[in-house]
Amino acid sequence: MIMLTKGAEPAILAKNSEKWTTELEAEILNGGDNVSYRTSKYNTKEIKSALQEEVNGKCAYCESKLLHVTYGDIEHIVPKSTDIKLTFAWPNLTLACDKCNTYKAAKIGIYDPYGSNPELDFRFYGPMISHSPGSDVAEITHIELELNRAQLLERRHEKIKSLLTSLDRLANIADNQMRELLKNSIISHESSPEREFSACLKSLIETKRQRGEI
């Protein structure tokens, strides 16, 4: 997980969020059959595109790349079941992969990557994610969202192997300046927010730096 910053509210949401909320509240009060239809009004291409941009095309929680064909699932940081007014509240919306979306469901107390810095609260041991001592929310989050599920461990492991191979190849470059340039280029590419699992890769790079290995 990496820290995220809220982008500008899409025009369609700014224009309609109040109206959609009023219509949804009325539908619920009347015990109507169209609650899920009214709730899903946020599911537009414009809103999903804006969210895609602020999450760098990755799940806000596990950092898996979202497939461009599916756009990911719109996720309510604080569950909409907690307060109906949060259904169309722009600051409460993000994007998650279908697995994180399903595991999170209506759980409360899950880490908010917009409100805190995950790099301080989560730790990596190779491909495994854990939490910093005392970071209870981070602990609850990686357990509840199963951020060490087999598929994620396997894919983070692959990324680590690929990064280590690239760094090892630097040893074959005789020219010091060229080697340094390439090293910096690899590090900046692998730890950029757009990179899948960048928090894990950044943590590995930092460990290698501290050991004086790179």
Q: Which residues would be at the binding site for Zn ion (CB under 5 A)?
A: 59, 61-62, 97, 100
Q: Shortest distance, CB of residue 66 to Zn ion, whole angstroms?
A: 9
Query: Torsion-angle region of residue 212: left (phi > 0), alpha (psi -120 to 50) or beta?
Result: left
Query: What is the distance between the alpha carbons of residues 23 and 85, in angstroms, rounded to a whole number?
Result: 11
**Least distance in angstroms from the C-beta of 158 to Zn ion:** 17
Which of residues 41 and 131 has its CB atom nearest to Zn ion in the complex? 131
Cα four-point dihedral sign 165, 169, 170, 171: positive
Residue pointed to by tokens 């004086």:
212
> What whole-number distance in Å separates Cα of residue 101 and Cα of residue 149?
14
Of 50 and 62, which has the nearer Cβ to Zn ion? 62
CB of 101 vs Zn ion, minimal distance in Å: 7
In the complex with Zn ion, the residue whose CB is nearer, 73 or 121, is 73
Question: Cα–Cα distance between 138 and 28 in angstroms, integer?
Answer: 34
* Residue 62 C-beta: closest distance to Zn ion, Å: 3
User: In whole angstroms, how close is the CB of 134 to Zn ion at the nearest point?
Assistant: 25
CB closer to Zn ion out of 100 and 205: 100
Q: What one-character DSSP code corresponds to residue 106?
A: T
| Contact status, residue 78 vs residue 105, Cβ threshold 8 Å | no
Residue 82 or 151: the one with the smaller Cβ distance to Zn ion is 151
Structure tokens at 132: 């910093």
**Residues for the chain: how many in total?**
214
Instruction: Return the number of the residue (24 or 55) whose C-beta is nearest Zn ion.
Output: 55
Q: Given the DSSP bridges, would you call strands 128-131 and 122-125 parallel, antiparallel or unpaired?
A: antiparallel
- 3-state secondary structure at position 40: helix
| Minimum distance of Zn ion from residue 211's CB (angstroms) | 30
Residue with tokens 């999170």: 104
